[in-house]
Amino acid sequence: MSATAPTSEAGAAAPTPQARVPVDLAANSYDILIGPGLIAGAGATLAERFPDRRFAVITDTTVAEHHLDALAASLTDAGLGYSTIVVTPGEGSKSFSVFESVVDGVLSARLERGDLLVALGGGVIGDLTGFVAGVVRRGMRFVQMPTTLLSQVDSSVGGKTGINTRHGKNLVGVFHQPALVIADTATLDTLDARDFRAGYAEVAKYGLIDDAEFFGWLETNWREVFSGGTARVEAIARCCRAKARVVKIDEKEAGPRALLNLGHTFGHALESITHYDAERLVHGEGVAIGMVLAHEFSVRMNLCSPDDLARMRAHLVEVGLPTRLSEIPGDIGSADDLMAAILQDKKVKRGRLTFILTRGLGASFIADDVPPEAVRAFLADKLTERVAA
């Protein structure tokens, strides 16, 4: 499970990324480097930015198969010493037991406090590695190398880290910003179509939150985002810039950062009710359906026009994302079951729920006074429609 490579003389110069997005957080500031082929040059990039440090690369078996050799070769070429820790793919690795084994691997490799962990993989690897980095030796630095669309536009940026417990997802963790994000967009070519689409839900989310112009751009350019042209890098950079702006003003989600949760309250409840079974629903699909539900609920509250709802749904349908509860296979419980999942996921303040609602395309807002009964009645109606469909 673990190997240590010898240190050799430094090699090639660091590659120039197609895009660089700074995240401005005073002492915790960092860059997001975006473009194809960055893993092959990662050793040079790390040697330049973190000279004389050692690294532990944390990844899973699937990502290792595709990308670990390229990263290992580049670290060796750059003369960097490193260990590797490989875990099982999937949400199950965000657990106390895998956390413990990764901590043990990092300590066994004798990394010092100034050394760095490298998260090579999707959201699970990033969240797990960031949490380990946040607590081992009372805080080590780490580098995110996201290899999924979802992690390149969302989870690798902003410092949310953590693991799951039997009480729910991400309930144990810390805010701990990475020291660098290297998003190699060529890794997305190895993603299966369903995972890419699911990540795209988070891309569309940035347009729906507060950027109708970006949503319109996606309606025109989504095919090139999917096929891997320059529009892909542009879309990822735009999402990262949007996220960097929000994180800069609200790093620990005391206020506006909650906007990034558009679609997630319903989406997390759907993931919970389907027992995080990826055969039935993956996170981005839950977010896609959740964003449609947030718009439908906003229409019902006379906040959003039915035309805007129709337009956002049409785009998600066009790219192949699910938008209706009837598209989730199997039993998804009753309105009360879904409400129980919502109440576990979100804080209830004085008997009222916080939701991200919208006044139209790109006009989302935080509504912190939503009566749970209104949400329950809405869900009951949606479930009736699901049965009729």
By annotation, the residues acting in catalysis are: 138, 160, 202, 243, 253, 257, 261, 264, 268, 283
Q: Which residue is nearest to ligand GLY (CB)?
A: 260
Q: How far is the CB of 121 from ligand GLY (least distance, A)?
A: 17
Find the shortest distance in angstroms from Cβ 153 to ligand GLY. Answer: 10
C-alpha 86/C-alpha 71 separation (Å) is 14
In the complex, minimum distance from the CB of residue 186 to ligand GLY, in angstroms, rounded to a whole number: 24
Rounded Cα distance between 384 and 141, Å, is 50
The answer to whether 160 contacts ligand GLY (rule: CB under 6 A) is yes
Q: Which is nearer to ligand GLY, 18 or 364 (CB)?
A: 364
The CA distance from 124 to 60, in Å, is: 9
Give the residue among 354, 376, 352, 384 at the shortest CA–CA distance from 367: 354
Looking at beta carbons only, is 197 or 257 nearer to ligand GLY?
A: 257
The piece of 40-48, 152-160, 219-227, 233-241 that touches ligand GLY (CB under 6 A) is: 152-160
Interacting residue with ligand GLY among 260, 289, 356, 361 (CB under 6 A): 260
- Asked if 294 touches ligand GLY (CB under 6 A), the answer is no
* Residue 89: C-alpha distances to residues 5, 224, 310, 322 (Å): 24, 29, 36, 24
In the region spanning residues 230 to 259, those forming contacts with ligand GLY, defined by CB under 6 A, are 257
- Sole binder of ligand GLY in the list 31, 127, 154, 184 (CB under 6 A): 154
Q: How many CB atoms lie within 10 A of CB 96?
A: 12
**Which backbone phi and psi does 200 adopt, to 5 degrees?**
-65, -25
Q: Does 158 bind ligand GLY (CB under 6 A)?
A: yes
The least CB distance from residue 304 to ligand GLY, in Å, is 22
The residue behind tokens 């084994």 is: 101
At its nearest, how many Å lie between ligand GLY and the CB of residue 249?
A: 12
Tell the smallest beta-carbon distance from residue 291 to ligand GLY (Å). Answer: 13
- What residues contact residue 307 under an 8 Å CB cut-off, 6+ apart? none
Q: Which is nearer to ligand GLY, 176 or 257 (CB)?
A: 257
Rg for the chain, CA atoms, rounded: 21
b/e per residue 207-226 (b: at least 16 CB within 10 A):
bbbbbbebbebbbebbeebb
> Could you tell me which of 265, 262, 257, 253 has the C-alpha nearest to residue 345?
265
Q: Nearer Cβ to ligand GLY, position 160 or 197? A: 160
- The answer to whether residues 43 and 75 touch, using CB atoms and an 8 Å cutoff, is yes
The nearer residue to ligand GLY, 46 or 119, going by C-beta atoms, is 119
Segment contacting ligand GLY (CB under 6 A): 81-89, 153-161, 182-190, 357-365? 153-161
Q: How many residues bind ligand GLY (CB under 6 A)?
A: 6
Give the nearer residue to ligand GLY in terms of CB position, either 67 or 160: 160
Residues 303-332 that bind ligand GLY (CB under 6 A): none
Question: In degrees to the nearest 10, what's the CA dihedral of 275, 279, 283, 284?
Answer: -150
Number of other residues whose CB lies within 10 A of the CB of residue 277: 12
Closest CA to 11 of 69, 75, 98, 104: 75
Question: What residues make contact with ligand GLY under the rule CB under 6 A?
Answer: 154, 158, 160, 257, 260-261
